[in-house]
Amino acid sequence: MTTLRLWQHFNREDLYECYQCARCTGSCPAMEVAPAIGPRETILRCLNVGHQQVAEDERLWLCCTCHVCEDRCPQQIPIGDLLVALRNSAARRGNIPGRLGMAIELLAKTGRSMIVHQLDEMRAHHGLEPLQPVAADEIREILRKTGLKEVIEF
């Protein structure tokens, strides 16, 4: 599997403009509830220790891609794009958290990212209709078209 050329997907020079003000982390909702690595440190690590190491860091996956950091960044660094590029790079090397991989596999197989038969039981208990079946084939096709297959197998 080819590794992704990160700097083809993200303009490296943009990172040099970061002056570590931490406005991004200050506005990051993920940082507030989880030990996420945070945009500021992600950038600092890319600059000082190299992005390969950053891509191996599990905490990268705690970002919820809300893009608030990008909105607040005084240097207008497209931080969201960086995080996505880093995750793609990690995923190509198989560095994807187990549970996330499983969810993708499920999505590709069943059209849903979680197992739902327990849900149906609960719904029945509340007198609700069972969930409608989903067009798993179509979802698989969408996933294929997004190029997800080149990043991870499903």
Partner 1 sequence: MEDTQTVEGTQPLRNDLRIGVYVCHCGKNIGGTVRCAEVAEYARNLPGVILSQDSLYTCSEPGQDQIKSDIRQHKLNRVVVASCTPRLHEPTFRAACQSAGLNPYLLEMANIREHCSWVHLHNKDAATEKAKELVAMAVSRAANLSPQLELTVPVIRKALVIGGGVAGIQAALDMADAGYKVYLVERSGSIGGRMAQIDKTFPTMDCSICILAPKMSEVGRHPNIELLTLSEVAEVSGHIGNFKVRVKKRARYVTNECTACGDCIEACPQLSPDEFEAGLCIRRAIYIPFPQAVPSKFMIDMDHCLNNQGIVACDRCYQACEHKCIDFADSDRMLDLEVGAIVVATGVDVYDPTPLTELGYGKFPNVITTLEFERLINAGGPSGGELIRPSDRRRPQKVAFLQCIGSRSKRSNPYCSNVCCMNTIKDALLIKEHWPETEIYVFYIDIRAFGKGFEDLFMRARREGVVFIRGVPGEIIEDIRTDDLTLLGENTLLGRHYKYQMDMVILSVGIRPRAGAEALQRMLNLSADTDGFYMEAHPKLRPVDTTTGGVFLAGAAEGPKDIKDSVTQASAAASRVNILMSRGQVSIPAITAKIDPDKCTACGLCARVCPYHAIEGGKDLGYFRVIEAACQGCGACVPECRFGAIDQTHFKEEQLTSQIDRALERDPQNKILAFACNWCSYAGADFAGVSRIQYPPSVRIIRTMCSGRVSPRWIEKAFLKEAAAVLVSGCHPADCHYNNANRQTAARVERFWKKMERLGMNKDRLRLAWVSAAEGAQFAKVIKEMDGLVKGLSLEEIRRDAELLRQSLEKKSKES
Binding site for partner 1 (CB under 8 A): 19-28, 31-32, 38, 40-41, 68-69, 72, 74-76
CA neighbor of 86 nearest in space, from 13, 12, 141, 16: 12
152 closest CA partner among 109, 107, 88, 99: 88
CB of 82 to ligand SF4, least distance (A): 9
Q: Is 39 in the site for ligand SF4 (CB under 6 A)?
A: yes
What residues contact residue 69 under an 8 Å CB cut-off, 6+ apart? 23, 24, 25, 27, 28, 39, 79, 80
By beta-carbon proximity to ligand SF4, the closer residue of 75 and 110 is 75
Is the CB of 35 or the CB of 74 nearer to ligand SF4? 74
Contact residue for ligand SF4 among 28, 30, 37, 43 (CB under 6 A): 43
Binding site for ligand SF4 (CB under 6 A): 18-24, 39-40, 43, 73-75, 77, 79
